[in-house]
Homo-oligomer: A and B are copies of this chain.
Amino acid sequence: MEISARNILKGKVESVEKGQVMASIKINVTDPTTITAVITKESAEKLNIKEGDDLAAIIKSTEVIVGKE
């Protein structure tokens, strides 16, 4: 399936931390850049996400804020 989200950053899972409902996944996309994704614990378990996995961070362009120094 091809998706409309314009931003797809591929990387490797550095860490997975699970709470009761949510889970925080850290993805190293290009050293030293790390993307943090917070998804449901249910998704993290259905996708069986674990350290070292290849994963893509997918971000819809309307969700991006820009900052200028």
Contact = CB atoms under 8 A, between A and B. Distances in A.
Interface string A2-15: 11111111000000
Nearest to A47: B68
Contact of A24 (B4, B27, B42, B56): B42
A28 to B, nearest CB: 12
Contact of A1 (B40, B44, B46, B67): B67
A46 B53 CA distance: 26
Interface string A22-66: 111101011001011111101110110100011111111111111
A32 to B, nearest CB: 11
Contacts of A64: 35-39, 57-59
